[in-house]
Structure formats: C-alpha cells, structure tokens
Chains A and B, each alone.
Chain A
Amino acid sequence: MDLPGIVHRAGGALLGTLQHVRIPGVGQASVTDDPATSARRWRAVTVLRDQAAVGTPEAPPPPLDRFGDRIEVRLTAAPADRGTELAARFRGTPSEAEIGELRAALREAKQLLEVGEVLRVDPQPHGQRKPTPQGAALEGMTEQAPKEGVL
C-alpha cells in the first residue's frame, strides 16, 4: 500500500475541505453553496491595472487564454482606485481539478499583469525532510495550495 502517497493526497484534500468546515470560527471561508451552484460562480481577482491593459473577454490575459472557449471571462472596472475585476467561470460543469486550474490561472494572470512574472518558491534550500505522515500531508497541502482557497 502506498501509505505516504495516500497521506500526501489526504493533505491536499484537507485543504479543500477546510473551506467547507462549518464549525463557528473555523469556517470563515465556508462555501455553503451546493456543488453545482459553487461550480458556476464567477471566480475573480482584482488587478491594479486599467481595463485596457488587462484585456477583453474575447482576448483574456495569459494564462487564462489557454482555456479557450471552455470559460467565459468578464472584466469590470473596480470601485474607487482598485483597478479591474477579472472574473472567469466554466461554461459547462467543471470538475474540482478544473476549478483548481482556473484559480491558479487567475492568480498567475494577476501577477503577470501587476509584477511581470509569477512568484516562484521552488527549489528552496532545506535540510533533511523526515518521512513523517505530518510532513507528507503538508507537502500534499502545499502542492495543492496554489489551486485551492476561496477564490
């Protein structure tokens, strides 16, 4: 049995579940929608750039462009001086994995527009990684983190 692999995947799954926990005080990020409604929600980042610099619904900024016509894109001027709201959602009913890819793509698009590059943290210097269940779970969690969250 691939126990480390199971724990690794469990860590990633735990991160997704965290948002759905409804214990008072823990579930600030709860998603109480049913899965179909949740999947259809617009997922958005606010980019501190003028709308013209962000793109158009027909020509969204990279890497959103790689989704092609699988997604619809909406651009709206954000209130006050906050830039442009860049939102996207799948036309059909997406899987959890596809939603994760869209979250990561929105975050990357924002970074490319605001900073010009996507932040990297690997490889980093580190000492010996002990093969513990907690460590495997955390690695699963961090691997999944760019694709998870309330976005």
Chain B
Amino acid sequence: MKAATWTGVNEVSVEDVPEPTILNDHDVILKIRQSVTCGSDLHLIGGYIPFMRAGDVIGHEFLGEVVEVGKEVRDRKVGDRVVVAPFAACGSCWYCKQELYSLCDNGNANPGITEGLWGQGVGGCFGYSHAMGGYAGSHAELMRVPYADVGTFVVPEGVSDTRALFASDAASTGWMGADLAGTEPGDVVAVWGAGGVGQMAARAAMLLGAEQVVVIDRVPERLTQVRTHVGAEAVDYTTTDVVAELRERTGGRGPDVCIEAVGMEAHAPGTPGIYDQVKQQLRLQTDRPTAVREAITACRKGGTVFTLGVFAAMVDKFPLGAAMNKGLTLRGAQVHAQRYIPELLRRMEADELVTEHLATHVMPLGEAPEGYRMFKEKDDGCVRAVFLP
C-alpha cells in the first residue's frame, strides 16, 4: 500500500509499504478516509525529536472505515466510520480511569525511552516516533489501531468526514486546553497560535462561556479565519505589543486563562526570536518557548497558563519567578482525546463546532511531500493539508 513516510530531516516521501495486520485481540484495521497534517509533525520532520527511523509512517489525526476487527473488540464492526484518538490508551489502567488517556500505562511499547528522558513513561501516539511507541501512522491506505473499543468513535451520519476529522486532535486538544485550564463563564481567554489547535481552543473557550477570547498570531489568513469562522478577536503580534494589548483589553488585569498552542518551534520578532533560534540550533536548548514566556508575563495574577504546544525537553530563560510570584497555575498535556471526542461529535452534529475551514488544502496522499511543504511554509494560506489515500 501507499504511505507517507519520514525519510530524513525535512524529507517526507511516499513509499510502498506492507499492509498492517491485527497484532492484538483489541485491534482494528482501518481503511483511512482522511488524514491530516498537524503542527507537531513538523517537529518530527525537522529532526527536533530524534527518535524517528527512516521509513516511519507518519500521521496521527485521522478518520477511517473499519475493515477488520480483532477477536476481543466488542463495540466496533466492519463498516463503521470512525474518528480516532491520536494516543493509544488501554482504558483499563488508573490513568485511563481518570480520563488522562495520553498518560496510559499500557499504550507505549518503548517505555524505557521516555522514562529516561522525563522520569516517567508516557502514552504512545500513532506515527509519532519510537519514543512515543513506534506505531505506524495514519498517512496510509490502511492502519492498525490498538485498543479500538477505547480509542475509536463512530461518527454520526450527519457529520461530514472533514468536520469529524478534526475531532481526532485539533478540536479535542483545543477543547482540553480550555477545559483543563478551568475556563469559566465571564473569563478572558488569550490563545497563542491561530493554527487548527489554537482556533479550536478559542472556540472551546467561547462555548464554555468566556466573555472575551483573543487569538495571537502573525499569519494574515489565520487571523482572518479566527475572526470569520471562530468568532474570536485576533491580534497580529508582528504589529502589536501583545502584553500591552491584552492588559489594555482587560482593565489592567491580564487574561484569566492563557493557552499556548504554538510549541517548540515558536517564532518571535526581534532579539528574543534570534536568541532562541541560535540557542536551539547550537543545541543549548531543545525547544523555543517564546509564546510560553509571553503567556506567563501576560497572565493575570492567580491565572492559568496551559501549554498545548508540543515540547520535547528543555527551554532556557523560563520566567519561573513570574509564575511563582504571580501565583500562576501552569499546566499542560498531550491530548486526552477519548475524554472529549463524544462531546465534540455531538457539538459538530449540532453545528456548534465547525472545522471544515481548517482543511484549506485537500489532496491525494501521493502529494503528501508537497502538502507538508505548503503546511510548513504556510504557503497559499495553508492551515492544514488533508490527505485522501
């Protein structure tokens, strides 16, 4: 079958690969209907997460049709159209019972790597390096999904493929940020990053009752989407002092909730941006935390900063003093998608949550290398490239 693979730093290819097979009794095999690029893939492709092997199939945000079921699968059957959580979670361990699915104890077959890096093993994510389980990803014609009763969700008939696709990751991650940051009615919420996750975090904050939601980015097409499709306010950080703007908009308080949806390759104008780029290229820090720093500075006293963007290891010049003295709550997580997908599908069916606009470029799987180029360079206003196997 055809699949999009990582073949080297900044190199994506389409190769012929063997078809997947059922390996565990709780598996299903899916025929992939749609699979989409995610900003976190760029960290893998760019070599920032050095646990990729040439030939690895990438992709973790997807929707497909069940074509084969393992003998212990109870709730899925051949023909089901399902959207899938990016993290494989068993549903039986203590973390899954707490709905912290991306922390599943039994979802990562290579626990030694993340235990060594972070002190604890974390869950496994499809198509996201050997540190995160070594699973083949979803940019393929067929894919094996373990723990299928826990991680796959039947899409209601009235919800289109392209809308449901984003329940997999962008919408569930965004919703998780707004939810676990404790967004309450009347809050002011600021979101750094107007990609798919940032837009969905903003929309989630609005649906959770936030009075004012402001999204910060620099890409004109994305800022326009924030205004037109999400209904939130948009600020261009290249022309606006973000912290001053947020202070002015909030009566001098700062946002109650600050959600960072940028990750380890943040851009910044001027000296801070150059500083972080140089340190990262010299391997003196692994991640560029520009947006997190700004969120901590901007956040109101006693507020919450939630990191949705993916970080790998270490950052420099982290304003821990501000965080401590302002009494902030710092929180972050990989997506606990299983916790949110059912509600997201209900809201999608009710047209409360609209995602189709994120799919700015839909193309055959064979064009995945070009899709990732456009996505990385934000060429032609690309927000997300969706692949059709």
Chain A residues in the interface with B (C-beta under 8 A)? 15, 18-19, 25-26, 28-29, 45-46, 48, 81-83, 103, 107, 110-111, 114-117, 119-130, 132, 134-135, 138-139, 141-142, 144-151
Contacts and interface: CB of A to CB of B under 8 A. Distances in A.
Give the top 6 A-B pairs by smallest Cβ distance, nearest first. A148-B112, A149-B115, A127-B15, A145-B110, A18-B116, A127-B55
A111 B104 CA distance: 11
Contacts of A48: 92-94, 97
Contacts of B174: none
Tell me what chain A mostly uses at the interface: helix, strand, loop, or mixed.
Answer: loop
Interface of B: 1, 3, 5, 7-8, 13, 15-21, 23-26, 50-57, 72, 88, 90, 92-94, 97, 105-107, 109-113, 115-121, 130, 133-136, 140, 142, 144, 146-147, 313-314
A122 B146 CA distance: 12
A130 B54 contact: yes
Contacts of B54: 127-130, 132, 135
B28 to A, nearest CB: 15
30 contacts: A15-B112, A15-B116, A19-B116, A28-B118, A28-B119, A29-B116, A29-B117, A83-B94, A110-B106, A114-B93, A115-B26, A116-B72, A119-B146, A123-B23, A124-B20, A125-B3, A125-B140, A126-B55, A127-B7, A127-B17, A127-B56, A128-B7, A138-B130, A141-B130, A145-B111, A148-B112, A148-B115, A149-B112, A149-B113, A150-B115
A138 B53 contact: yes
Contacts of A148: 112-113, 115-116
B13 A121 contact: no
B55 A25 contact: no
Nearest to B121: A149
A46 B115 contact: no
A29 to B, nearest CB: 5
Given A46-B94, A111-B106, A138-B130, A125 B1 contact: yes
Contacts of B20: 124-125
Which of A107, A114, A119, A148 has most B Cβ within 10 Å?
A119
A128 B23 CA distance: 21
B18 A146 contact: no
Contact of A15 (B1, B16, B113): B113
B116 A139 contact: no
